[in-house]
């Protein structure tokens, strides 16, 4: 295959890895952000944690794979992002570290304050990561300014928080929370499921309005025609993808207002998942060729400049043909094994409750 074809294939694979991460880790972020809303009771919060506990770290592998693939296939893209967006990416890293610590350390002491503190760490870490990724991808939709030789990002940290950037961040937070609530309604029973359904009914329309605003503003203020690497049909493709995104989320919201709850929850999860897939697919369509940057006149930076050599991409393609099916099979297997619903009845007593029982006896 030619170098240009390999660059396109690896850009598409990079998009698949990022979209897979947002689809899978999106409901993990959403569940953690909903701890203070749904999980005020310690045992109900334990149900929420156990719902995502077996798979949250496997879901983060998709982010590691996306970063590793970017480093190997597009080293120029990787270096430009980490050099120009050092502080936002540091915030993402700190948020992910705090989340991981919260899962691993919360059960090490039989103390409610200890557990509450680490659960708040998970909530705050998930909020930070969701917000920063939403803001970052919204800025890549716009096109981050670059200049110099070699090219570097010229925007400051605070310039990332433009109105459209903030809209993208708030949308990511709201959409992941709805996705997480739908996942809980599908994965739990009892009081946790009922509370999750109420969250979807309350927050779903808000997320839908934010999504409509993002798609309309993004396609009018920052159209696909701004990208010199996209053809005449790109504008139509962007609008169609945006409509699919809105319809999918609207479908999910409607399903939660229907009867037959067991069936509607599965369909609602497919709807929120399709909305996330279509939303970030729109981002990558807009980023095709430019990789989310807007070089100044005289500065050359695009996918061809940022990509590795033809030999490197060819070798990586052969490795991906072996590794990707294994990753997909392991992901499917893990969700099949942990497919049953959870409720408070499945949870052991909290350590503080057990200590009280022992003291009385």
Encode pLDDT of 61-116 as tens digits. 899 999 999 999 999 999 999 988 999 999 999 999 999 999 888 888 878 888 88
Residue 293 phi/psi, 5° resolution? -120, 160
Total residue length of the chain: 361
The H-assigned helical ranges of 143-260 are: 163-187, 191-221, 234-255
Q: Which single residue is written with the structure tokens 């229907």?
A: 258
Place 358 in a pLDDT band, splitting at 50, 70 and 90. Answer: very low
What is the per-residue pLDDT across 317-345, written as a single tens digit (0 to 9) for each?
A: 999 999 888 888 888 888 888 877 777 77
209: which 2 tokens? 């309005």
What pLDDT is attached to residue 260? 58
Residues 6 or more apart from 141 whose CB is under 8 A from it? 164, 168, 218, 222, 282, 283, 286, 287, 292
Q: What CATH class has 3-342?
A: mainly alpha
Residue 260 phi/psi, 5° resolution? 55, 65
- The whole-angstrom separation of Cα 150 and Cα 204 is 44
Q: Is 89 exposed, middle or buried (0-12, 13-18, 19+ CB in 10 A)?
A: middle
Instruction: Look at phi and psi of residue 292 and say left if phi exceeds 0, alpha if psi is from -120 to 50, else beta.
Output: left
pTM: 0.92
Coil, strand or helix at 342:
strand
Query: Of 234, 233, 248, whose CA–CA distance to 278 is shortest?
Result: 248
What pLDDT is attached to residue 347? 66
Coil, strand or helix at 293:
strand
- The whole-angstrom separation of Cα 41 and Cα 185 is 17
Domain assignments of the chain as residue spans, ordered by start: 3-342
What pLDDT is attached to residue 357? 46
Place 255 in a pLDDT band, splitting at 50, 70 and 90. Answer: confident
Q: Please say whether the beta carbons of 182 and 269 come within 8 A.
A: yes
What is the per-residue pLDDT across 149-208, written as a single tens digit (0 to 9) for each?
A: 888 899 889 999 999 999 999 999 999 999 999 999 988 888 898 899 999 999 999 999
Place 350 in a pLDDT band, splitting at 50, 70 and 90. Answer: low
What pLDDT is attached to residue 343? 72
Coil, strand or helix at 147:
strand
Q: Average pLDDT over the chain, rounded to whole?
A: 89
Query: Of 293, 273, 247, whose CA–CA distance to 142 is shortest?
Result: 293
Half-sphere exposure of 337 (CA within 13 A, CB side): 10
Indicate if the alpha-carbon torsion angle 257, 263, 265, 271 is positive or negative: negative
- State which H helix or E strand residue 145 sits in: strand 144-147
What pLDDT is attached to residue 338? 80
- When pLDDT is averaged across residues 256-263 and rounded to a whole number, the result is 62
Question: How far are the Cα atoms of 114, 119, 166, 219 from residue 102, in angstroms, in the given order?
Answer: 10, 6, 27, 39
Q: How many CB atoms lie within 10 A of CB 318?
A: 9
- When pLDDT is averaged across residues 119-145 and rounded to a whole number, the result is 95
What pLDDT is attached to residue 166? 96
Coil, strand or helix at 295:
strand
Place 261 in a pLDDT band, splitting at 50, 70 and 90. Answer: low
Strands 152-153 and 293-295, bridge-based pairing: unpaired
What pLDDT is attached to residue 324? 86
Place 55 in a pLDDT band, splitting at 50, 70 and 90. Answer: confident
What is the per-residue pLDDT across 208-254, written as a single tens digit (0 to 9) for each?
A: 999 999 999 999 999 998 899 988 889 999 999 999 999 999 999 88
Q: Please say whether the beta carbons of 161 and 311 come within 8 A.
A: no
- The whole-angstrom separation of Cα 90 and Cα 98 is 12
What is the per-residue pLDDT across 20-33, written as a single tens digit (0 to 9) for each?
A: 999 999 999 999 99
């Amino acid at each position: 295959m030619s170098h240009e074809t390999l660059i396109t294939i690896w850009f598409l694979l990079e998009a698949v890895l990022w979209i897979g991460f947002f689809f899978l880790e999106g409901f993990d972020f959403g569940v953690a952000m909903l701890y203070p809303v749904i999980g005020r009771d310690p045992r109900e919060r334990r149900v929420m944690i156990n719902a995502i506990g077996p798979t949250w770290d496997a879901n983060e592998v998709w982010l590691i794979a996306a970063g590793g693939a970017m480093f190997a296939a597009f080293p120029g893209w990787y270096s430009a992002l980490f050099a120009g967006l050092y502080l936002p990416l540091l915030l993402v890293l700190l948020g992910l570290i705090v989340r991981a610590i919260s899962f691993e350390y919360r059960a090490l002491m039989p103390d409610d304050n200890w557990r509450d503190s680490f659960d708040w760490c998970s909530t705050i870490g998930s909020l930070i990561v969701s917000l920063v990724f939403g803001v970052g991808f919204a800025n890549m939709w716009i096109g981050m300014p670059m200049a110099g030789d070699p090219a570097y990002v010229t925007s400051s940290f605070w310039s990332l928080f433009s109105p459209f950037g903030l809209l993208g961040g708030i949308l990511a937070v709201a959409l992941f929370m709805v996705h997480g609530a739908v996942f809980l309604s599908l994965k739990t029973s009892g009081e946790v499921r009922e509370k999750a359904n109420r969250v979807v009914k309350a927050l779903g329309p808000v997320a839908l309005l934010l999504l409509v605003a993002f798609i309309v503003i993004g396609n009018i203020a920052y159209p696909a025609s701004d990208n010199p690497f996209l053809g005449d049909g790109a504008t139509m493709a962007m609008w169609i993808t945006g409509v699919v995104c809105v319809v999918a989320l609207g479908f999910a919201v409607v399903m939660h207002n229907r009867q037959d709850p067991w069936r509607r929850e599965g369909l609602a999860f497919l709807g929120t998942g399709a909305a996330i897939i279509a939303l970030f697919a729109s981002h990558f369509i807009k980023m095709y060729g430019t990789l989310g940057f807007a070089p100044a006149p005289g500065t050359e930076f695009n996918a061809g400049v940022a990509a590795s050599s033809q030999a490197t991409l060819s070798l990586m393609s052969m490795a991906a043909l072996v590794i990707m099916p294994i990753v997909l099979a392991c992901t499917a297997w893990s969700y099949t094994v942990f497919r049953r619903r959870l409720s408070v009845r499945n949870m052991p007593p909290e350590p503080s409750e057990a200590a009280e029982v022992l003291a009385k006896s």
